[in-house]
Amino acid sequence: MRNSILLIMSSICLPLMVFGSKVEIVQNQKRYQLLKDGKPYYIRGAGGTENLEKLKKYGGNSIRTWGVDAQTDKILADAQKHNLTVCFGIWIGQERQGFDYSNKQALASQLKMVRETVRKYKNHPSILIWGLGNEMDLDYTNFEVWKHMEDICKIVKEEDPNHPTMLVTAGLDVAEVKLIKQHTPSLDILGINTYGNISYLKDAINMYDWNKPYIVAEWGPYGWWEVGKTSWGAAIEETSSEKAKTYQASLTSILNDTSTCLGSYVFLWGQKQETTSTWFSMFTEEGEETEVMDIMIKGWTGKKPKNRAPSISNFTLSDKKGHNNIIQKVSTPLQAHVDISDLDKDEILYHWQVIPESTDKKTGGDKEKAPKPLKGIFKKSDTKKNTVKFYISSPGEYRLFIFAKDGNGNVATGNIPFKIIK
């Protein structure tokens, strides 16, 4: 009787238990495909952990994280709530940040961390892929990292044979591909962070003889390291409308590789300071969306958004663009002008800002401190104007920002670097 009761209770409780998914890679006629629980799964993903409801609504199906922290459990729960998968990031030490790949104790400690992490989270139903590290090759000199990554991949597979492994490189380099093939044979997927060079990625993969699938682990606008600069070294950022064209071309390039690419994670599904507050951010600090989001919605769903973002056709400071090296003397009047169009005929409010050039610029996406906008530069009435005049009373390097808002959660953004001298 007791055994019967236990059996009945077990059958009742069984559906309440949490089991992970089974994810595998199959190859048919030289075409790689990701299967999740036996069904084809193409990654329409985003790097970031915010606005997950919108990601699902807009046609995305996966998020990428970079490491474990106090928010990890909540992120997994939110992903599950919105039926999103997770490329689960496990942070792997970087040489440029002081990690020593010749230190046996440090390596052993890292392997222990990886094993414990996988063991803890492997059965969560949202796990899709183990994302092992990010850009460990950035500014590195010790090639032992790839041997260590092999040890990591083996541990992950010991603990969890049901989810593939991926490591992520900064761009794609032929020498690096050879090193990974030689020293990390247990790796399942090569993750590649690439921006301006994305149109060459498919050809490079073939040329470098990578014989496994890959994922575009980060992609977006031209990076600050890829664009022109002023004479004083300020990187010239695309407007949101220029970025939209870049995202469209990049997304087309990704989708064109139907043989080796398993999908991608667009960057950044959120907001962060990196050179500027808008460079990689797909949302503003207030949560507004630019034309870039219109591109992603159309690419993921095949449908245009109900209300589209404003578009910038022209943006100047004293009739000049950023590449013109705008240098003015203290207290000299400056005139800003922007031409905005809105397909939905929404009323536009113009939010102008002057922000000092960042002095806390990092590499590799490391956290940066955002400079504060100058106060008292513009009048309240300037929100109604697409042409405004102002002056700066202190020498320095600055950026003029425009945030053209349509009142429906959409915005057009742009900035122009300029310099004030005595």
The pLDDT of residue 20 is 84
Mean pLDDT (the chain) is: 95
Quick check: 1 pLDDT over 60? no
pLDDT digits (tens, 9 = 90+) for 165-175: 999 999 999 99
**pLDDT tens digit sequence for 212-257:** 999 999 999 999 999 999 999 999 999 999 999 999 999 999 999 9
CATH class of 311-421: mainly beta
Q: How confident is the model at residue 29 (pLDDT cuts 50, 70, 90)?
A: confident
Over residues 100-104, mean pLDDT: 97
Q: How far apart are the first and last CA of the chain?
A: 93
Give the model's confidence band at 185: pLDDT under 50 very low, under 70 low, under 90 confident, else very high: very high
Please identify, in words, the CATH class of the domain defined by 18-301.
alpha beta
Percent of the chain with pLDDT over 70: 95
Q: How confident is the model at residue 18, as a pLDDT?
A: 52
pLDDT of residue 30: 81
pLDDT confidence band for 6 (50 / 70 / 90): very low
Per-residue pLDDT tens digits for 290-309: 999 999 999 999 999 999 99
pLDDT digit string, tens, across residues 353-369:
999 999 999 999 999 99
Q: What is the pTM of this model?
A: 0.94
Question: What are the sequence ranges of the domains in the chain?
Answer: 18-301, 311-421
pLDDT at 156 exceeding the cut of 60: yes
